[in-house]
C-alpha cells in the first residue's frame, strides 16, 4: 500500500494518529480499570490497530499509509532515544544487594529463553519462512528484556514487519497463559520453598534489603528535563555518526563479521553501551526517564504495525506453537535455577516476569507475591533491558545456525 492510497498522508498527520492510538488504549486502561488489560496488555491493541488502519481497504482507500517518512524517522531517531532513556536507570548493584541469588535465577531464565528459542525453532522451522529466525530474535528481545529490546532487535536483524507482527502476537498469547501461572505460584510457596531447600533467613534478609533501598521520588524539574534531553540527543548523535564509520571498518577488515555488524546493528549497540556506561554516573538519578522512554516505545510499535502486511501473518499457528514450547523450556530453566541456588518462589516468579513481561508485568507479580519487592522488580526488569540488545540478536543467529540456514 502506498501513501497515495491512504486518507491521511502528511507526516504530521501520520504521527498524530500513532500517538493518538497509543494514548487511547492507555486512557481506556486507566479509565475503565478493566482487568483484561492485565492479561492482554495495551501493547497488542497499539500494534494491531494501525495494522487495521493501513490494511483495511474501503473504496480503494485506507486510513493510513504503509509507507511514510515518519516510520523511518522513528527508526533512526526515536529508537536510540528510548534506548538511552530506559537504560540509564539500570542499577545492577541494587538488584544484586536485594535479590541476591534471585538474580542468578533470572540469568538462568535468560539462558532458558536462548536455549528455548533454538530448540523450538528447530522443531517448527519447517513450517515457517526461511527468514523466520529474525522473528525469533525479535521475540527473544522481548523475553530477555522487553518491548524496547524487541523493537531494537527487529532493526538489528532486519526483521520484516510481518515477522515482527508474529512476535507481538506470540508474545501476548504466551503472556495470557504465563502471567496467571506466575501469580498462582504464590499459593504453593511453602511446598516450593521446601522443595528448593530455601534457607529460612533468605526472605527476612530480602525484606530488610528492600526496605533499606527505598528512595523518595521527586517531581522532575524543568532543568532536569533539559539535561535529560541533552544527554539523549547527544548519545543518539554520537551513535548515529560513528555507526557508519565503525560498520564500514568492520566490513573492510573482518569480512566474516560484516553481515552481522551492519550500520543499524552497530548504531544500536553503540547507543546501548554508552547508555549503560552512563547508568553508573549521577545521570542515572535524573527522574522520569523510564516513563518517557516507554512512551516512545509504544509510539514506535504503533508505527511498526502501520507498516505490516496482513498476508504475512499466515505463519501464526506454527510460530505460536514454537513460542509455547519455548516458554516452558524457559520455565524449566527457572525451576532448575531455583533448586540449584535455593531460591524462594517469590523471587523465581519475579525473575521470570522480569524476563518475559519486563517492567510492565514484573511489578504486578511482585505486588501479588511480596509488595515490598515492587521497586526492585522494576530494577530487575531494567537489568533484562541491559542484556537484551546484546543477547537477543545472538539468539536469532543461533536459531538460524542450528537449522543450517
pLDDT for residue 251: 84
* Kind plus residue range of the DSSP H or E element containing 45: helix 42-55
pLDDT for residue 1: 41
Q: Among 76, 77, 49, 79, which residue's Cα sits nearest to residue 64?
A: 49
pLDDT for residue 185: 92
Q: How far is 330 from 110, CA to CA, in rounded Å?
A: 7
Please state the three-class secondary structure of 137-174 as a single string: HHHHHHHHCCHHHHHHHHHHHCCCHHHHHHHHHHHHHH
Q: How far is 300 from 15, CA to CA, in rounded Å?
A: 10
pLDDT for residue 4: 46
CB atoms within 10 A of CB 230: 10
Q: How far is 87 from 364, CA to CA, in rounded Å?
A: 21
Return per-residue pLDDT of the chain as tens, 405 residues.
444 478 888 999 999 999 999 999 999 988 988 878 877 788 888 988 998 998 888 877 888 898 899 998 998 899 899 889 988 988 878 777 777 888 899 999 999 999 999 999 999 999 999 999 999 999 999 999 888 899 999 999 999 988 998 999 899 889 888 988 998 999 888 899 999 998 877 777 776 766 655 555 678 889 999 999 999 999 999 999 999 999 999 888 887 777 778 888 899 999 999 999 998 899 988 888 888 988 998 898 899 888 877 766 678 899 999 999 999 999 999 999 999 999 999 999 999 999 998 877 888 888 888 887 777 788 888 888 889 999 999 999 999 999 987
Q: Name the burial class of residue 106, with classes exposed (0-12), middle (13-18) and buried (19+) by CB atoms within 10 angstroms of its CB.
A: buried
What global pTM score does this model have?
0.84
Q: Are 167 and 350 in contact (CB under 8 A)?
A: no
DSSP code for 220:
P
Q: How far is 234 from 101, CA to CA, in rounded Å?
A: 37
pLDDT for residue 48: 87
pLDDT for residue 92: 78
- Cα dihedral 165, 166, 168, 170, rounded to 10, equals 170
pLDDT for residue 3: 43
Amino acid at each position: 500500500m502506498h501513501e497515495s492510497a491512504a486518507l491521511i498522508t502528511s507526516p504530521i498527520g501520520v504521527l498524530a494518529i500513532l500517538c493518538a492510538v497509543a494514548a487511547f488504549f492507555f486512557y481506556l486502561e486507566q479509565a475503565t480499570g478493566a482487568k483484561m488489560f492485565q492479561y492482554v496488555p495495551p501493547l497488542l491493541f497499539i500494534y494491531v490497530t494501525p495494522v487495521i488502519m493501513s490494511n483495511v481497504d474501503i473504496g480503494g482507500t485506507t486510513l493510513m499509509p504503509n509507507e511514510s517518512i515518519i516510520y523511518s524517522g522513528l527508526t533512526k531517531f526515536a529508537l536510540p532515544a528510548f534506548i538511552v532513556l530506559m537504560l540509564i536507570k539500570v542499577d545492577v548493584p541494587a538488584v544484586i544487594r536485594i535479590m541476591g541469588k534471585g538474580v542468578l535465577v533470572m540469568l538462568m531464565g535468560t539462558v532458558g529463553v536462548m536455549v528455548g528459542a533454538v530448540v523450538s525453532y528447530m522443531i517448527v522451522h519447517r513450517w515457517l519462512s526461511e527468514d523466520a529466525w529474525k522473528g525469533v530474535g525479535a521475540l527473544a528481545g522481548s523475553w530477555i528484556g522487553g518491548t524496547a529490546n524487541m523493537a531494537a532487535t527487529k532493526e538489528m536483524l532486519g526483521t520484516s514487519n510481518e515477522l515482527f507482527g508474529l512476535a507481538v502476537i506470540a508474545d501476548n498469547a504466551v503472556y495470557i497463559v504465563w502471567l496467571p501461572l506466575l501469580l498462582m505460584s504464590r499459593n504453593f510457596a511453602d511446598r516450593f520453598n521446601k522443595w528448593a531447600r530455601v534457607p529460612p533467613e533468605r526472605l527476612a534478609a530480602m525484606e530488610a534489603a528492600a526496605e533499606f533501598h527505598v528512595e523518595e521520588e521527586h517531581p522532575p524539574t524543568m532543568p532536569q528535563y533539559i539535561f535529560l534531553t541533552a544527554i539523549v540527543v547527544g548519545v543518539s548523535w554520537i551513535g548515529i555518526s560513528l555507526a557508519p564509520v565503525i560498520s564500514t571498518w568492520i566490513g573492510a577488515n573482518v569480512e566474516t563479521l560484516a553481515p552481522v555488524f551492519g550500520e543499524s546493528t552497530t548504531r544500536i549497540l553503540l547507543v546501548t553501551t554508552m547508555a549503560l556506561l552512563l547508568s553508573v554516573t549521577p545521570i542515572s538519578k535524573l527522574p522520569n526517564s523510564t516513563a518517557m522512554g516507554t512512551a516512545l516505545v509504544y509510539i514506535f510499535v504503533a508505527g511498526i504495525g502501520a507498516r505490516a502486511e496482513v498476508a504475512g501473518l499466515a505463519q501464526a499457528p506454527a510460530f505460536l506453537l514454537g513460542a509455547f514450547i519455548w516458554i516452558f523450556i524457559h520455565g524449566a530453566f527457572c525451576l532448575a535455577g531455583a533448586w540449584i541456588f535455593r531460591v524462594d518462589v517469590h523471587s523465581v516468579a519475579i525473575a521470570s516476569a522480569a524476563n518475559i513481561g519486563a517492567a510492565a508485568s514484573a511489578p504486578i507479580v511482585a505486588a501479588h507475591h511480596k509488595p515490598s519487592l515492587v521497586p526492585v522488580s522494576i530494577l530487575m526488569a531494567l537489568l533484562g533491558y541491559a542484556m537484551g540488545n546484546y543477547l537477543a540478536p545472538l539468539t536469532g543467529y543461533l536459531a538460524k545456525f542450528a537449522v543450517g540456514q
